[in-house]
Amino acid sequence: MDNKAFFDLVYGVCMLSTKYEDKINGCIINTCVQVANEPARLAISCINGNLTPELIKKSGIFTLSVLDSTVTFDVFKRFGLQSGRDVDKFEGIDHLLDEQGLPYLAEHADAMFSCKVVSSQDLGSHTLFIGEVLDAKVLSPEPPVTYGEYHSRIKPKPQTVEQKKIKGWKCSICGYEYEGETLPEDFMCPWCSHPASDFEPIYE
């Protein structure tokens, strides 16, 4: 099986929220799809062990904020890269409440859906929930953001390895050390005659 084939699937991204007793929580998901329209039903898939599905199982309700293209990495960091077991994810973020009392985003969302769970299935790594849509609103004219855009445009690029200054090169075959920042391409080790490609940098 070529796992790269999965990268060709296209997804939107939502902030999925729920509430059970006093605990309000939400997480980022890229696995929301409309699966029926009479009645309107959405499917979502949640990683087992996370707080959000644990609360959804108890409350039987969830709300989706469909993220739009103005969304910034902060929103992903807040909802998708930490757990509500450790922090209050809604503290200090602008949000509104739907009729079920569940929070949805006042900014960076182009639509919201309030749902009640009508079925769920444990799929091993994830639990699939099917929700019947009780209410839906268009919130902004911005286009929805895609999971692909999250990876290509929103997620910070990995930091380039700290720029370290090269002071010399060491032959990985015999240990000979060449002094100087630039090793000539046609250099050959005077001890073992191996080429420049067998040398590794020595940093300051």
Ligand X SMILES: Cc1cc2nc3c(=O)[nH]c(=O)nc-3n(C[C@H](O)[C@H](O)[C@H](O)COP(=O)(O)O)c2cc1C
Give the nearer residue to ligand X in terms of CB position, either 60 or 80: 80
Give how far Cα 192 sits from Cα of 67, 172, 195, Å: 60, 10, 9
For residue 103, the tally of other CB atoms under 10 A from its CB is 23
Residues that bind ligand X (CB under 6 A): 13, 25, 27-31, 45-47, 50-52, 76, 80-85, 150
Shortest distance in whole angstroms from residue 56 CB to ligand X: 9
Shortest distance in whole angstroms from residue 84 CB to ligand X: 3
- Dihedral pair phi/psi, residue 145, rounded to 5°: -90, 150
Question: What is the DSSP code (8-state) at residue 156?
Answer: P
Give the nearer residue to ligand X in terms of CB position, either 80 or 168: 80
Give the nearer residue to ligand X in terms of CB position, either 90 or 199: 90
Assess whether the previous peptide bond of 39 is cis (omega < 30° from 0).
yes
Give the nearer residue to ligand X in terms of CB position, either 43 or 134: 43
Shortest distance in whole angstroms from residue 80 CB to ligand X: 3
Indicate the burial class of 140 (C-beta count within 10 angstroms; 0-12, 13-18, 19 or more): middle
Shortest distance in whole angstroms from residue 139 CB to ligand X: 20
The helix (H) or strand (E) run that includes residue 65 is strand 61-67
Tokens at residue 94, please? 């602008």
Give the nearer residue to ligand X in terms of CB position, either 28 or 111: 28
